[in-house]
Structure 1
Amino acid sequence: MIPMDDTDRALVAALAEDATQSAGALGRRLGLSQPAAWRRIARLRAAGVFRGLRLDLDREALGFGVTVFLGIKLATKGRVGLDDFERAVGAIPEVQTVEHVLGMYDYRLRVVARDISDFERVLRRRIMTLPGVGNVDANVLLTEERRPGPI
């Protein structure tokens, strides 16, 4: 863990709001020179605080109107079963996130589809045929109120 002061934390929060801001604009906002802001950003990036930049896509505008969270309980356990499942699920483009979790299920997936019938196709033809899949529990996303933000 990298030591961070208040200015570093303010810089992280500002970039979390809008990662397209220039070092000059961030410096003016935080009372730093452009080179000082740039050096801080470079130090935080080198320390692994920033894992990359992402676009926040509007899934509905792209034609994906349904998001479903799946809880997957594997029928077979062990390292081989986990590796095979993770490799196979990673090849499904509709699966947006794969989380290995502790609890009732072994994995939690975020799946997007054009509509419910498209989701059914993905579930039947792709997810249920994955190696080791046992029980599957689905929760359809109705609304998403909170967006992830800085810590």
Structure 2
Amino acid sequence: MTDLDDTDRRLLLLLSEDATRSAGQLGRMVGLSQPAAWRRVQRLYRSGAIRGRRLDLDAEKLGFGVTVFLGVKLATKGRVSLDDFERILGAIPEVQRVEHVLGLYDYRLRVVARDLADFERVLRRRIMALPGVGSVEANVMLSEERLPGPL
């Protein structure tokens, strides 16, 4: 774990709000010079505290109006390796997130689709057809509220 001071935490908060801020902007906002802010941000990247930047796309505006969370229970854990199963899931473009979890299900998936008929096609032809899939439970997302701020 990286030792973070208050300035590092403030930089992380500012970057989590807008990752496109320049080192000059960040420096002015936290009371550092541009080079000092740049060095701190680079140190946060090198330490792994910042893993990268992501583009936050609006799935609905891109034509994907349905988001479904799937709980997937594998039929038998020995039938397919978990690495192979995760790799196969990663090749399905509608599967946006794969989480290996403890509990009732082995995996939790976030799946996007154009509509319910499209989701049914993805479920039947791509996900349920995978080797090792036992049972699946689907929860359709009604709305999503994003909590502000970093961790």
> Which TM bucket (shorter chain)?
over 0.9
The whole-number CA distance in structure 2 between the counterparts of 1:101 and 1:18 is 30
CA contact under 8 A between 2:72 and 2:106: conserved in structure 1?
yes
> 1:132: which partner in 2?
132
Describe the superposition over 1:51-92 as per-residue Cα deviations: whole angstroms up to 9, x where unpaired: 111111010110000000000000011494312311211110
Distance 1:109 1:148, change over 3 A: farther
Equivalenced residues, count: 151
TM-score computed with the length of structure 2 as normaliser: 0.96
C-alpha RMSD of the superposition: 1.3
CA contact under 8 A between 1:99 and 1:108: conserved in structure 2?
yes
1:109 and 2:109 aligned: yes
The whole-number CA distance in structure 2 between the counterparts of 1:71 and 1:148 is 27
Alignment of 1:76-115 (within 5 A): 76-78=76-78, 80-115=80-115
Point out where structure 1 has 5 or more consecutive residues left out of the alignment: none
CA contact under 8 A between 1:23 and 1:34: conserved in structure 2?
yes
Residue type of the partner of 1:87?
A: R
> 1:144: which partner in 2?
144
TM-score computed with the length of structure 1 as normaliser: 0.96
> 1:17: which partner in 2?
17
Point out where structure 2 has 5 or more consecutive residues left out of the alignment: none
Distance 1:137 1:6, change over 3 A: same
How far off is 1:104 after superposition?
0.4
The whole-number CA distance in structure 2 between the counterparts of 1:117 and 1:39 is 50
The whole-number CA distance in structure 2 between the counterparts of 1:19 and 1:150 is 12
Q: What stretches of structure 1 move > 4 A for 4+ residues in a row?
A: none
